[in-house]
Amino acid sequence: MKRVVPLAGADRANDRWAMRVFAVAMLGVLGLAWWLVRANRPHGEQVVLRLDRSGALVSDDEQLARDLSGDVVVDQDVAATAFCVNGPYWMSDVTLDLEVVVATSSRLYRVAELVASGRWPRALATRVETDLLAAAPSVSVEDVDDVVIREFGRQRVEAYLADAAVAPSRDVADNFVVYAVSTTVWDQSIYVIDRRHIDRGAVERFAGEDPFGGRPYEVRVSGQSARFAVDRQTCA
């Protein structure tokens, strides 16, 4: 019986096909990893959470300021972080302007700790907190949309609400800042920022490009009459 000897050309074709399959598989793995990172931290490592809602310009929205008020102490440095983090988003047209309102709500800072630590998933916190903002000042499982209750389970949502009701760490503002900003003239976003993971490169680019000649801006803090004056050089 004759022995069949495979052709060298066929081997090379098979090798090329295997390499293509491997390359496609690797691209799929890398794409999945990229998507998971994006889903885990929108806009990079610095954003713990982003809540979107309809509303007037944040500089004019007195109800928003009341809803974001609490007893977290915000100083000049924390206010400057909010302004500087928002700067690159404004430059890339993600946000409408440089006007930010810094929150002092202990609840939102507690949520920052819970999500950043991995204790509660970002998806659950985003859905629940968005509903609670619409129902403020009420905070109850009854304020959470039925779709969210069905998706995550009532007991789990109630457990999350109980955990979020606990006071945050006394030094929570050392690690996080929460601020509201307009994204259009009728839409707002509340950003929960991890100060330990600020995108310094983006902030420094914002600081270095000042078409307004270094004029100061005022950062409003919810629940406080005082405002902090900041400028782009603060971000350098």
Over residues 35-56, the pLDDT tens digits come to 343 334 444 589 999 999 999 9
Higher pLDDT among residues 8 and 149, named by residue = 149
Over residues 115-140, the pLDDT tens digits come to 999 999 999 999 999 999 998 888 99
Please report where in the chains the tokens 């995550």 appear, as a residue.
152
SS3 97: coil
Over residues 82-98, the pLDDT tens digits come to 999 999 999 999 999 99
Q: Can you give the residue ranges of every domain in the chain? A: 1-40, 47-119+167-235
The 8-class DSSP code of residue 220 comes to: E
176/162 Cα distance (integer angstroms)? 21
Q: Say what the pLDDT of residue 215 is.
A: 81
What is the pTM for the complete model shown? 0.80
Q: Say what the pLDDT of residue 62 is.
A: 92
- pLDDT, mean over the chain: 86
